[in-house]
Structure 1
């Protein structure tokens, strides 16, 4: 069975048996297409992320100073990364939803081109919507609190997320191979960093709490901060990867530059 590349079956070149990558149809940008300058957009997102990180670190310093209830008490709930329903959580949900929208746009383009992997792109869009909701309200934390003992939650989370990642890898292996080299590298880097934070460092933080560390200890807050930075940074990087993937296309009235 021939390998599928970019959603198409390769063809033979000059009868020599070599495989030719058949690219998807690249629509020419129309004169009235609205340009989206992705570099500027990413720059502003990074600026917001940087400001939120600085404010979070300020709250951490206040906590370590022992004055979290006497100095700027309202800052903790608004900017502390470990909290849900605050500005960092909202920002993370926003960039996850942005990723979902870009994935849905790519899925629409692929479906229009009758691409084999259009459904896979749509599936990714749905997964990112679910991730955005979870980031906003902490669904997986609520489920773990409801259905698993407190001292085993990090193990349950590790096993459950590991099984999901394994199933995802099985179903999306051919999809991943079909991507161009730049996209493959981007997907792998973003995915690895996100999983390192969302699974690895989250399990480490939960393990520290089970070992008796306080959630206001320096070690726990360092682990928690690293987890959130990895997650937020990897999503921003993934948004940039998707913008770059969209650059050859001009559709739905805009073009990415």
Structure 2
């Protein structure tokens, strides 16, 4: 793979994210200025906080791309074959998160929890509780093989992971607190500008984190190939 390929793919993905962001913002202001409804076609298909539309499908593709790249690295690159469980587990996790993004499994989990337990504040969106616990447990299994990687890869993975989790968990928990503190109407979150901005930031950080992770995996794959060819 040519050295510039990861950068080209990274740039292309960033341009797609920018395009989706502009559509998301444009559809919101069109909705507000024209007195439309959240069920309007343009808004439904471009809003970051709705399911089965352009942003959610693109985000799912990013997740699935990560899963495929991780699987390829674990299977094809000789240097990493001894750590197959690490790469396969990560691949499975991204396969699940891709399905979750597409089917909104976490929202269904949250509704199930909230129907039996009253949650509030940063846990208003209660899915963050089981998902947060799962992240901690899985991290315990991954931490040793993770820190056996080279420093550049560790740094890249940490940057992408922090960016993604800042959006997926950090902004989500802050949004829950903000909604409760300001007593926002849960039935009108799609049209309330505060909630719109927060949901946009959340999804944007997730997409950026995934995009940088894809770039990191492509760089790792590319550099390993060159090293193999050299020797």
- Partner SS, residue 82 of structure 1: coil
Residue 86 of structure 1: which of 28, 53, 58 is its match?
A: 53
Q: Which has the larger radius of gyration?
A: 1
Distance 1:155 1:45 in 2: 29
Distance 1:64 1:180 in 2: 49
Give the match for residue 17 of structure 1. none
Question: Normalized against structure 2, the TM-score is what?
Answer: 0.84
Residue 239 of structure 1: which of 211, 214, 226 is its match?
A: 214
Aligned runs of 1:60-79 on 2, under 5 Å? 60-65=28-33, 67-69=35-37, 73-79=40-46
Can you list the C-alpha shifts for 1:85-112, whole angstroms capped at 9, x where unaligned?
00000000001111111000001035x4
Give the match for residue 146 of structure 1. 112
Instruction: Indicate the structure with greater strand content.
Output: 1
- Partner SS, residue 68 of structure 1: coil
Aligned runs of 1:97-176 on 2, under 5 Å? 97-110=64-77, 112-113=78-79, 115-149=81-115, 152=119, 154=124, 156-176=126-146
Q: Which runs of 5+ in 2 are unaligned?
A: none
Q: Does 1:41 align with 2:9?
A: yes
Question: Normalized against structure 1, the TM-score is what?
Answer: 0.76
Q: Which runs of 5+ in 1 are unaligned?
A: 1-32
Give the match for residue 53 of structure 1. 21
Indicate if the aligned counterparts of 1:161 and 1:199 stay in contact, CA closer than 8 A.
no
Report the alpha carbon displacement of residue 249 of structure 1 after superposing the two structures with TM: 3.8
Report the alpha carbon displacement of residue 35 of structure 1 after superposing the two structures with TM: 9.2
Distance 1:237 1:213 in 2: 34
Indicate if the aligned counterparts of 2:46 and 2:53 stay in contact, CA closer than 8 A.
yes
Instruction: Indicate the structure with greater helix content.
Output: 2
Indicate if the aligned counterparts of 2:75 and 2:81 stay in contact, CA closer than 8 A.
no
